Amino acid sequence: MTRTAPSFIRGGQRCSLCFLSGVLSIVLSACPAHSHRPSQGQLWEGFSGEKAFIHVQRLVELGPRPPGSEAIEKSRAYIDNQLRLAGWQVTRQAFRDDTPRGKVDFVNLVARFPAPGNAAPSFLLCSHYDTKTFQTIRFVGANDGGSSTGLLLELARILGHHSNLAAKIELVFFDGEEAYETFSQNDGLYGSRYFAKQLAESKTAKQFRGGILFDMVGDRSLNITLAPDSPAQIAHDIFASADALKRRSYFSYFDREITDDHTPLNAIGIPTIDVIDFDFAWWHTADDTIDKVSAESLQIVGAVAAYYLTEFAFK
């Protein structure tokens, strides 16, 4: 993710306040007057922000994890092992791409839960796990890269106890989200662009009804900001999930578009929302360290996501 003024990339064109007001009006008018009545199972109650936080700690202890580094390979091994312990089958999607620093090797991790008859999953849960390459600072990406990965690993754990639901979901850990210089069609989003290209070329994108990308979700002063161009139904249901768990105050709309790993997925027709807290004072600084991440924030986002998966994603 990169930011520019007055727009954000993970950003794009600045949206007018009129457009934003219109989007908010549509979403608010669509919200039910009463809370969504939960079904049995209560997956969200099993989510542990503390366990997610421990994963973030383990990743941060590896140090900076830019693409092609020894540390990112260690993080891959850690992620792979945790997924397998939770019952997931993991595939490494390795590729080489041109970057402003020359050719770089990248690896996406794709996980599926064993399904009866090898039924294909129909919903994506995603995070990037790389950290931005810096020559001048030691950047460990506790929130930017670490928090969303820890959260997704904890979601994988609790989903492993709900095999019917898990079999409907594909987990993707993207390499190479960060741009080396400036986000463009040829820099940044390397992993998600490659993943989307493979889906498009194999004509399997249509099997996915939607997706969620998590990014920077551990800020101790949590304020999740959904982009105004988010898929309307998913945004509505995320807000409804937060409301049902009495966590609505932590979720709002951003006033600009965001370019992130969800962008290539939307481009091939998979409606995917970016669940992100962009108001993070230590973004892309040496101070994006573990003390800026909160287990409570991970708990809030993880529980809301689990509620959404149970109550809305497949209705």
CATH of the domain at 44: 3.40.630.10
Position 17 pLDDT exceeds 90: no
Establish if 5 belongs to a structural domain.
no
Establish if 288 belongs to a structural domain.
yes
**21 — pLDDT class (breaks 50, 70, 90):** very low
Work out the percent of the chain whose per-residue pLDDT is above 90. Answer: 84
Q: Which residues contact 303 (CB under 8 A, 6 or more apart)?
A: 44, 45, 47, 245, 247
Cβ pair 276, 10 in contact under 8 A: yes
- In this predicted model, which residue has the larger pLDDT, 150 or 41? 150
Structural domain total, the chain? 1
114-135: average pLDDT: 95
Lowest mean pLDDT among 206-210, 256-260, 262-266: 256-260
Establish if 47 belongs to a structural domain.
yes
Cβ pair 176, 129 in contact under 8 A: no
What does the alpha-carbon distance between residue 220 and residue 241 come to, in Å, rounded to a whole number?
21
246-258: average pLDDT: 95
Establish if 11 belongs to a structural domain.
no
pLDDT at 118: 82
Establish if 204 belongs to a structural domain.
yes
What does the alpha-carbon distance between residue 124 and residue 276 come to, in Å, rounded to a whole number?
16
SS3 state at 269: coil
Phi, psi of 90 (to 5 degrees): -115, 135
Cβ pair 279, 132 in contact under 8 A: no
Establish if 3 belongs to a structural domain.
no
The helix or strand, by DSSP H or E, that contains position 93, with its residue range, turns out to be strand 89-99
Q: Pull the structure tokens for residue 230.
A: 């988010």
Q: Pull the structure tokens for residue 128.
A: 């990037």
What does the alpha-carbon distance between residue 93 and residue 308 come to, in Å, rounded to a whole number?
28
Lowest mean pLDDT among 2-16, 124-138, 178-192, 206-220: 2-16
**117 — pLDDT class (breaks 50, 70, 90):** confident
Work out the percent of the chain whose per-residue pLDDT is above 70. Answer: 87
What does the alpha-carbon distance between residue 169 and residue 298 come to, in Å, rounded to a whole number?
20
Furthest-apart CA atoms within the chain: distance in Å: 55
52-62: average pLDDT: 99
pLDDT digits 0-9 by tens, 88-98: 999 999 999 99
pLDDT at 31: 40
Q: Residue 258: which of 284, 229, 224, 231 has the closest Cα?
A: 229
- Alpha-carbon distances, residue 201 vs 1, 174, 298 (angstroms): 26, 18, 35
Position 130 pLDDT exceeds 80: yes
147-155: average pLDDT: 99
Establish if 34 belongs to a structural domain.
no
pLDDT at 16: 35
pLDDT at 12: 38
What does the alpha-carbon distance between residue 268 and residue 52 come to, in Å, rounded to a whole number?
31
Q: Which residues contact 267 (CB under 8 A, 6 or more apart)?
A: 196
pLDDT at 116: 83
The helix or strand, by DSSP H or E, that contains position 304, with its residue range, turns out to be helix 295-311
Position 48 pLDDT exceeds 50: yes
Mean confidence (pLDDT) of the chain: 90
**140 — pLDDT class (breaks 50, 70, 90):** very high
What does the alpha-carbon distance between residue 249 and residue 101 come to, in Å, rounded to a whole number?
42
233-237: average pLDDT: 98
Establish if 35 belongs to a structural domain.
no
Q: Pull the structure tokens for residue 92.
A: 């490494």
pLDDT at 312: 98
Q: Look up the pTM and report it.
A: 0.89
105-131: average pLDDT: 96
Position 30 pLDDT exceeds 50: no
Position 272 pLDDT exceeds 50: yes
Phi, psi of 115 (to 5 degrees): -125, 145
Print the domain residue range for 173: 16-24+40-311
Q: Residue 309: which of 97, 38, 65 has the closest Cα?
A: 38
**1 — pLDDT class (breaks 50, 70, 90):** low
Amino acid at position 43, single letter: L
- Alpha-carbon distances, residue 198 vs 30, 94, 108, 260 (angstroms): 35, 12, 12, 18
pLDDT digits 0-9 by tens, 156-172: 999 999 999 999 999 99
Where are the alpha helices (H) located in the chain, listed in sequence order?
A: 17-30, 49-61, 70-85, 148-159, 163-166, 190-202, 232-244, 262-267, 295-311
pLDDT at 41: 62
Position 268 pLDDT exceeds 50: yes
